[in-house]
Amino acid sequence: MTTSDLADVKAGLRALQIEVPSWAFGNSGTRFKVFGQPGVPRDPWEKLADAAQVHRYTGAVSSVSLHIPWDVVEDYGKLAAHAEDLGVRIGMINSNVFQDDDYRLGSVCNPDPRIRRKATDHLLQCVDIMDATGSRDLKLWFADGLNYPGQDDLRARQDRLGEALREVYARLGDDQRMVLEYKFFEPAFYATDVPDWGTSYAHCLELGAKAQVVVDTGHHAPGTNIEFIVAFLLRQGKLGAFDFNSRFSADDDLIVGAADPFQLFRILHEVHLGGGFDPASGVTFMLDQCHNIEPKIPGQIRSIMNVQEAVAKVLLVDRAALGVAQQAGDVLGAHGALMDAYNTDVRPLLADLRSEQGLAPDPMAAYKTSGYAEQIAADRVGGNQAGWGA
């Protein structure tokens, strides 16, 4: 690698920014148990403080996603200013139309017009919060779906979904977007109303340029070629956000890259080829993980480190050699170009880059010795710890 090539790789890594979710710092668990940890934030202000710690040791956290109503405050302008003071900003506003008894049979797709109105009003409230915080993106994920054939009219539910999306889309400002997430199952097991990228893409295409698709790596059936989906959506200019996750079975919320680091590399290779790392593309990268048994802040730090390692390897791919091999039909040569980059140990490169940025070469070790974990465990006594639903 030439000095110029190394400089390009480091420049790409410096530009990489990853949003972290506020809910990653609260207590979470399985269907059976939510596990409490000492020092967990009690409000959005403390969540932002913890997110800022992730940025302090990685240098890669541009923004923090909020989840409404989990992160409701009286003054969102003050919360946004608090984030800026900590060196981050408010990112996506995530709606929640799945934790209310009214939504047992769905939210915007519910057959009851009163419940659909309630859900849509919540989405509009989230746009108000975007206005107050300076957020660009409204992230929409719907748990709506059916468990049994005949439970409801599949076509009618798509009509209801489209109606709600159009109303919210019309409320967006000129510089705002909605990003529509999909998930092939859970909690609905027979039919989910937004089950795949094609359904999300079709609705976004109908809505217009301010509607984009979210790809979450944990939301696909086993064997799905996620890198193809990413390549297609980038080609169409419809990839609005990319959520890092890792799965062995389903939406496991594991540290990114834990299950299949080569898959992560393949996906990010397509992101790079499609220009997704260019800020002009508008793609937001976010960790969408609730760590149940891992300490919260170190779990986010490790995830970002894993993403940085994968991106570093992607940036090391000899694209000229890869292109020559592809044009020549040299199957093994093309595969080898990818494997040479993937098998490179990029940890020394990243340690050097962090030192150049004034960061500790080993973020995990630096956080562990910082005393922050002990400090918040001692200080955050009393009140209610944040968690699912708070």
The values of phi and psi at residue 288, to 5°, are -110, 80
Angle at the Cα of 207 from the Cα atoms of 192 and 188, rounded to 5 degrees = 5
Query: Which structural domains are found in the chain, ordered by start?
Result: 15-316 (3.20.20.150)
Overall pTM surpassing 0.85 (yes/no):
yes
Handedness of CA 246, 249, 251, 254 (dihedral sign): negative
The values of phi and psi at residue 256, to 5°, are -60, 135
Between the alpha carbon of residue 59 and those of residues 52, 189, 202, the distances in Å are 10, 40, 36
Q: Is the peptide bond before 361 cis (omega within 30 degrees of 0)?
A: no
pLDDT digit of tens for each residue in the chain (390 aa)? 677 788 999 999 999 999 999 999 998 887 788 888 999 999 999 999 999 999 999 999 999 999 999 999 999 999 999 999 999 999 999 999 999 999 999 999 999 999 999 999 999 999 999 999 999 999 999 999 999 999 999 999 999 999 999 999 999 999 999 999 999 998 999 999 999 999 999 999 999 999 999 999 999 999 999 999 999 999 999 999 999 998 888 888 899 999 999 999 999 999 999 999 999 999 999 999 888 889 999 999 999 999 999 999 999 999 999 999 999 999 999 999 999 999 999 999 999 999 999 999 999 999 999 999 999 999 999 888 988 655
Dig out the tokens for 95 from the structure.
């709606």
